[in-house]
Structure formats: C-alpha cells, structure tokens
Amino acid sequence: MQVLIKEGSTFQSITPISEKEEKWRSKLLNERILEEIILQDEKRTIKVKAFCEEFAFPDGNSVDLLIVDDKFRIYLCEVKMAWRGSERYGFGQALEYLKSVKTFEKFEDFWEKLQNNKSLKLINIGREKLKKKLKKSFGEENVVSVLVMNEIPPKFIPVVYEIPGSRFYAVELNFFKKGNYEIVAVKKYGWPAVFGKKIRRPITKEKFIENYTQLGLRDLAEEIVDVFQRVCEENPSFVKIRRTPKYYSLVIGDPKVFSVGFHSTRETDDGIWVEVQPDENMKREFLKLERKFGLKVDIKDKKGTKWIKFPEGKGVSILRGKIKDLVYELIRIYKSHPR
C-alpha cells in the first residue's frame, strides 16, 4: 500500500524531514488541522482526512490516529507512538501503520458490528429521545453523546463506542472551515470506562450539595460551600478551593503543606482530612480541636496526613454550624506555624 499526504495540490513523500516533521506536529497537535491522505493498494484507493489524537479503544489498546474517510466511516489505528517522552515520531511514520490492509479489515468489521448493535437500534427516534433511552438503560453518567447513524450532517460526526460491561464513552468531532484548512475540534465526554475502569471527573459545587442533600445534609453542604468561597475571597493570596472526584477541599497555602477536604459522596466515619507536613508544634494545636469541636484527631501518620476523625457512631453532621469556626481555626494554625 502506498501512503501519500496531500498539501495543497502537491503530493509529498511520507518520509519525515526534521523541519517538516515539526510543521506536521504543530498543525496536528496544536491547531487540529486535517490533511487529505490517499491510501492505495492493489484493490482500492481511499481518500481520507486524518489527524493525530490519543484515544482509548474497547480492547484496551492505546490509539493515536483516527481516520475519517469519504463515507464517514471511522478507522482507529493502533499507533503506539506519537511524540511521547524522549521518543519523537513524525506523522508520516505514524501513517506507516496504515499500510496493512488487515488494519482496515479489522476496523471495518468492528464498525459493522457497532452498526448492528442492538443497543443502538433506536437510531430513527431522534438524538435527544435516544439519549434519554440510553441513559435509562445504562445509567445517566455513562451516556453523554449518542450516535445517530442516519443523521450525519457535514458539521459534526458524533461517535459512540461500546465498552465491555455495557458502558459507553463518546467522542464528538466538530468540523468547520478556516481559510484553506478544515479544522477538527475534539470533545471527549466523561470517559465512563477506559480499560474497564471508570474515570471520574472532579466534583462540582452543585453535585457536592446534591450528594449531601440525599443524606439529609443540604444545609451542611451549603454551609461548607459558602464558607470555602468566603474564605477564598478574604484570602486570595494563599487559600483556594480544590475539587477531586472524592473530596471538596480547601487548600491553605501550598497544597503539599496544608489542605482540608470533605468527602463528596457520602456521610462517612472517615472524617475530614487535613494534610500537613510533620510539625511537632502543630500537634498541640490539632489536639485542641478535639475539645472545641467534639472531634477525634489522629496524629500518628508519619507521612504528614493528620486525620480529623468523627467519634464512633457519629458523622460529619456534628459539624453543623461549626464549619466557619473550624476553617478559621485551621487557618490560624497555619498562620501561626509558617513553613
């Protein structure tokens, strides 16, 4: 198979040249510019648009090249190299992986199976209605965008792949014109499963409140959010909010030095955590929190994590009305022990 790259009206060899390689890299990775590619073998000639991007494939392989042909079929090619670490490879070298006709056959077969997937037989009912049905079947958090086979306008191509275990992730490609180039903007949605493992996004303020509401603790969640916001506004130079999938946290100073977080998904006897660098003088300050807030402080962690635990049988609800005092007390401790 012969692979040619078309730039303007001139076909060029795929052999990378240093300056040219940097040009391709800049275009493909930074500007998302598509180039027309001609794939030829004894049986066929295929004109495609191509760009480099990293994806995760259902079989667990890493994928770095996505090809969209003139019939809007998608080819994901197993290209396990694309300017990573100290190894730099040109776009032309990546295209060498397309020389095997078996690669096309493999993904054409996958695409055909995807089209025949019973879970996607609702394609004629409209995008939003289909999305609702998929959310009902597979869980709202697992369906963000949907594939509608009979509705592919020139502007965008929504694509959904099935993940083993009936989970879904989606990639939406948005095409638009800019000068003489056709640009692609890639939106990655949620990635509910990669290698069979769910990847979670940092919790939002609204979701944090919603989760606590389900526990009957909406007032406490609103108190936490309000206090965190107010403290950040009062101390913009050294206090900020940090969100992870598990915690809604407040960073005081350097995040590696001092931070406090509340569990985001459930009332738990894990308590809240305060992470600080070991400091013998701070131990006495933390022990005072036991008496003032009815908490139990564990200062045995040699790695520097100080756990503020709740007494047995009690949860975070014991801090109702005390969040402001607790946060200001922690800030006072931080300020009194400068690092």
Classified by CATH at the fold level, domain 205-336 comes out as: Aspartate Aminotransferase, domain 1 (3.90.1150)
Each as own residue / partner, the long-range contacts of residues 59-64 (CB below 8 Å, 24 or more positions apart, any chain) are 60/195, 60/196, 64/94
Per-residue pLDDT tens digits for 22-77: 444 344 333 333 444 444 444 545 444 444 444 333 333 333 344 444 443 334 33
Q: Which two tokens stand for residue 159?
A: 């694509």
Residue 315: burial class (beta carbons within 10 Å; 0-12, 13-18, 19+): middle
Domains of the chain, residue spans: 1-99, 117-197, 205-336
Supply angle C-alpha 62, 67, 69, rounded to 5. Answer: 155
Q: Which residues of 42-56 are buried (b: 16+ CB within 10 A; e: fewer)?
A: eeeebebbbbbbebb
Asked if residue 247 lies in contact with residue 261, where contact means CB atoms within 8 angstroms, the answer is: yes
CA 170 vs. chain centroid, Å, equals: 12
Sheet holding 167-178, edge to edge: 156-163, 167-178, 181-189
- pLDDT value of position 164: 34
- Residue where the block lists tokens 């070298």: 93
Q: Which two tokens stand for residue 186?
A: 């890639």
Per-residue pLDDT tens digits for 238-282: 788 888 777 788 887 766 656 677 776 655 545 566 655 556 667
Dist. CA 323–CA 202, nearest whole Å: 22
Dist. CA 268–CA 179, nearest whole Å: 56
**DSSP label of 310:** P
Dist. CA 151–CA 148, nearest whole Å: 5
Dist. CA 176–CA 187, nearest whole Å: 14
Q: Supply the DSSP string of 274-302, one letter for each residue.
A: EEE---HHHHHHHHHHHHHHS-EEE---T
- How would you write the pLDDT of the chain (339 residues) with one tens digit per residue? 233 333 322 222 233 334 544 444 344 333 333 444 444 444 545 444 444 444 333 333 333 344 444 443 334 333 333 333 323 333 343 344 444 334 444 444 544 544 454 433 222 334 454 455 445 544 454 443 433 322 223 233 333 333 333 333 333 333 333 332 222 222 333 332 222 233 356 788 888 888 888 778 889 889 989 999 999 888 888 788 888 777 788 887 766 656 677 776 655 545 566 655 556 667 777 777 777 877 776 655 555 555 566 666 677 778 888 888 888 888 887 777 665
| Selection from 226, 224, 254 nearest residue 240 by Cα | 254
Dist. CA 137–CA 146, nearest whole Å: 13
% of residues, the chain, pLDDT over 70: 27
Asked if residue 81 lies in contact with residue 62, where contact means CB atoms within 8 angstroms, the answer is: no
- pLDDT value of position 226: 92
Q: Which two tokens stand for residue 158?
A: 């929504």
- pLDDT value of position 242: 81
Q: Which two tokens stand for residue 94?
A: 């990546």
